[in-house]
């Protein structure tokens, strides 16, 4: 999961493209809005896109650390925030229903 804040005058999709470019030097294709999550302190806009086996050779990590792809079983045992766990579980449920 990559992300950051929305700057003044920016919409969530523009912020997504700016943040991914800043963090990974990458331009995602066919991005789809998934869902908006609201917390007491912030709003989280989640977008999805497909990547293929070329993804790792197309990015350059410019900020933070590169993570790894997790399947649902692996996600259960890693330490992520509660909101991230909710988002991932919602995405997995959506993927299951889409098949």
Q: Convert the pLDDT of each residue in 41-86 to its tens digit.
A: 888 999 999 999 899 899 999 988 777 788 889 988 988 888 889 9
Cα–Cα distance between 49 and 83 in angstroms, integer? Answer: 20
6, part of any domain = no
Count how many domains the chain has: 1
pTM attached to this predicted model: 0.85
Instruction: For the chain, give the number of residues.
Output: 99
Band (15; pLDDT cuts 50, 70, 90): very high
Query: Which range marks the domain in which residue 74 is found?
Result: 12-98
DSSP state of 6: P
> Which token pair is 15?
């912020």
User: Quick check: is 72 in a domain?
Assistant: yes
Establish if 7 belongs to a structural domain.
no
- Cα distances from 93 to residues 42, 85, 87, 88, 90, in angstroms, run 24, 12, 10, 9, 5
Whether 32 is covered by a domain: the verdict is yes
- Identify the pLDDT of residue 66: 74
Q: Is residue 57 part of a domain?
A: yes
| Residue 1 confidence (pLDDT) | 62
β partners of residue 65? none
In a domain, 4, yes or no: no
């Amino acid at each position: 999961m990559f992300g950051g804040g929305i700057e003044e005058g920016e919409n969530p999709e523009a912020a997504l493209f700016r943040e991914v470019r800043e963090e990974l030097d990458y331009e995602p294709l066919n991005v789809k809005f998934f869902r908006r999550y609201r917390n007491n302190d912030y709003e989280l806009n989640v977008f999805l896109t497909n990547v293929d086996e070329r993804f790792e050779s197309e990015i350059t990590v410019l900020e933070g650390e590169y993570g790894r792809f997790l399947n649902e079983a692996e996600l259960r045992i890693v330490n992520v925030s509660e909101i991230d766990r909710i988002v991932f579980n919602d995405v997995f449920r959506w993927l299951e229903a889409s098949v």
